[in-house]
């Protein structure tokens, strides 16, 4: 099981709900992970998720709950332009510095089949050029575009990509008993 909690810089609604929204977010994240661990749920991974578009604040790490409760860093991307952004590069570099693998979630906002193909090509190029990205979660476009479906099937046939159902333990971090 993957427990993912989007970082509060991506949830502007949290800003007005507390005098210190970063502290509230960190407390909630840490509490949720503590509950999983106290209940001895061993088949879960805690993922701290930041959105490339919403984490433009260079102080996004003020929302980081800590290495002791985070197993993976998540990067949520909806626009292929974000793959080349300084924030995206910084998030990946920081994850590497914290010795955390990255799961990339990509849900393109494509208006045409050609745009979707370009977006997915940029996504796979990003994954292949960044060794810190260890997992990929793709959301198909809302439209049924046959070329996009064929392209995704072709790219995911690469032996480096496995279906999580084929190896569910990939997300299970090694924790002391």
Is 80 exceeded by the pLDDT of residue 171?
no
Higher-pLDDT residue of 63 and 57 is 63
pLDDT of residue 128: 92
12 pLDDT band, cuts 50/70/90, is: very low
Centroid of chain to Cα 13: 20
Residues 6+ apart with CB under 8 A from 2: 44, 45, 47, 72, 171
Over range 45-64, report the average pLDDT.
76
pLDDT of residue 20: 64
pLDDT of residue 24: 86
User: What domains appear along the chain, each with residue ranges and CATH number?
Assistant: 2-171 (3.20.20.80)
Is 50 exceeded by the pLDDT of residue 17?
no
Report pLDDT digits (tens) over 67-122.
Answer: 999 999 999 888 899 998 888 898 899 999 999 999 999 988 889 999 999 999 99
pLDDT of residue 60: 78
58 pLDDT band, cuts 50/70/90, is: low
CA angle 69, 76, 142 (to 5 degrees): 135
Check if the beta carbon of residue 123 is closer than 8 Å to that of residue 76. no
Supply 81's token pair: 């332009």
Distance (Å, whole) CA 109 – CA 124:
16
Helix (H, G, I), strand (E, B) or coil at 99: coil
Residue in the structure block whose two tokens are 């990339």: 104
15 pLDDT band, cuts 50/70/90, is: very low
User: How many CA atoms within 13 Å lie on the side-chain side of 155?
Assistant: 18
Distance (Å, whole) CA 65 – CA 47:
10
Over range 17-21, report the average pLDDT.
60
Which of these ranges, 13-17, 25-29, 83-87, 140-144, has the smallest mean pLDDT?
13-17
């Amino acid at each position: 099981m993957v427990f993912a909690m989007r970082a509060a810089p991506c949830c502007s609604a949290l800003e007005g709900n507390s005098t210190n929204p970063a502290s509230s977010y960190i407390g909630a994240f840490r509490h949720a992970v503590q509950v999983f661990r106290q209940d001895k749920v061993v088949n879960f991974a805690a993922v701290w998720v930041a959105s490339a578009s919403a984490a433009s604040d260079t102080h996004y790490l003020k929302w980081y709950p800590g290495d002791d409760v985070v197993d993976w860093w998540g990067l949520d991307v909806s626009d292929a332009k974000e793959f080349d952004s300084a924030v995206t590069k910084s998030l990946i570099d920081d994850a590497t510095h914290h010795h955390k693998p990255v799961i990339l979630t990509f849900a393109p906002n494509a208006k045409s089949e050609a745009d979707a193909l370009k977006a997915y090509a940029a996504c796979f190029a990003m994954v292949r050029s960044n060794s810190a990205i260890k997992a990929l979660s793709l959301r198909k476009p809302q439209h049924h575009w046959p070329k996009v479906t064929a392209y995704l099937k072709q790219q995911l046939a690469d032996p480096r990509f496995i279906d999580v159902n084929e190896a569910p333990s990939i997300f299970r971090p090694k924790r002391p008993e």
